Amino acid sequence: MVARARQFLSHVVPGIIKPMRVLWNEVIGFLFVCLGLVPIPSGIRAWREFDKGNEGPFRVLLTVVFCVVMLYFGITSFLKARNISRT
């Protein structure tokens, strides 16, 4: 009985784990892309204030770096999900 249960789990678990890993990477990728897109309007406002001379370059630079990093994490997460689904 134990041998059959072990054999059943050895066939079923890989079939469940792989789609769960793909789904996890896709959800995390979506969240990172959303986090990367949310501060764009604030960055545009900061850029306009920087052009007027009211604001220093730090806020604009910080917004750009944050957006780039979050979008990078999101895109690489989607690419990782794609690689997992192809194997």
- Domains of the chain, residue spans: 21-86
pLDDT at 15: 87
- In terms of Cβ atoms closer than 10 Å to its own Cβ (0-12, 13-18, 19+), residue 68 is exposed
pLDDT 10s digits, 9-66: 888 888 899 999 999 999 999 999 999 999 999 999 999 988 888 777 899 999 999 9
Q: CB–CB of 82/29 below 8 Å?
A: no
Cα separation, 63 vs 44, in Å, equals 9
Task: Give the integer Cα–Cα distance in Å for 83 and 43.
Answer: 33
User: pTM, whole model, 2 decimals?
Assistant: 0.82
Q: Give the pLDDT score at 82.
A: 96
